[in-house]
Amino acid sequence: MAAIKGANVVVKIDSTAVAGGKTKNLTINNTAIDVTNDDSSGWRTMLDESGQQNVDITVSGILVNSDLIAASITGTVLETMSFEFPTALDGDSSSGPKLSGDFKMTSFATGAETEAGVTFDATFNSSGVIAYTAGA
């Protein structure tokens, strides 16, 4: 994948882009299973397969509506989310690779400086299998 502009990466909740998002991060975790024993000659040995797998999405930006505040208060809702990359050629996030699945908002913070816009930081953790769709 060639270099792409960060503004073209889109995080969506139920097919709607997170309003005001400026910084989007995706973390994919594959917990290793350590099977080191006396026969390992002092070297760590890992299973080929992963233990727990999960995906975390964080979004930071300028708060432009109350949608994320409302979602953070309910606290029990799983949302269908996607993290979409554009293709380098057209900048269209609908044509690039995408990860999607169910996520729960696990943290929300907001800040308000006197001479700046109201900001937010939100973290979403995956629940269940996350699908990867290759780009066009």
The model's pLDDT over 87-112, given as tens digits with 9 standing for 90+, comes to 765 555 567 889 999 999 999 999 99
Question: If you classify domain 6-30+50-133 with CATH, what class do you get?
Answer: mainly beta
CA distance 123 to 100: 15
Dihedral sign from CA coordinates of 14, 107, 121, 73: positive
Number of residues assigned to the chain: 136
Whether pLDDT at 1 is above 70:
no
Mean pLDDT lowest for which of 39-43, 88-92, 104-108, 119-123?
88-92
Q: Indicate the domain borders of the chain.
A: 6-30+50-133
> How many angstroms separate the most distant Cα atoms in the chain?
63
- What pLDDT, in 10s, does the model give residues 47-90? 999 999 999 999 999 988 888 888 888 876 788 999 988 876 55
pTM: 0.83
